[in-house]
Amino acid sequence: MSGYDYASAITGCTTEVQGRFALRGSSFELLADGSVASGGPGRAPGPLDLLVSALVANMLNVLRDGTLSDLQPADDEEVDREVQVRARVSRYPAGRLKVGRLLVEVLVGDLGPAEAEELLQEYRRGCRVLPALETVLDVELCASSPSDAAA
């Protein structure tokens, strides 16, 4: 398998705990559980948690500096926005093609609701993680206001 330029390489192995797995990359280690339905202990992130976490980490990274749209600053100005993301999955009944619905609420500290919604639309158009999630989940991205975050 030569000739590939790997962006990520993950290895995994079983552990002494039934349904728990050790995952390693070049610069990290983490524990993950299989789903509770398949015998996982339910104390570490499961496969669905890891998928959703990938999207949340990507959103925080991209939206923090605003480089997706015309909302980015002038060339000599650096932005480090405060961004909060809340992602919740609702499961569909068994037998459906998709697992469930993912609601992602995003609060971008220095943007009003209309500007934040515009930034989310740009994110949706340019994100490479989101299409992978949309194969298993119906995804809704929405901008939140500070009053929503307090609730």
Domain 46-150 has what CATH class?
A: alpha beta
Domain ranges of the chain: 1-45, 46-150
Question: Which pLDDT tens digit goes with each residue over 117-129?
Answer: 988 998 998 898 9
Arithmetic mean of pLDDT, 15-25 = 96
Question: Which pLDDT tens digit goes with each residue over 51-102?
Answer: 999 999 999 988 887 666 544 555 556 667 899 999 999 999 988 999 999 9
| 3-class DSSP assignment, residue 91 | strand
What count of residues does the chain have?
151
User: How far are the Cα atoms of 84, 119, 120 from residue 69, in angstroms, in the given order?
Assistant: 19, 7, 10
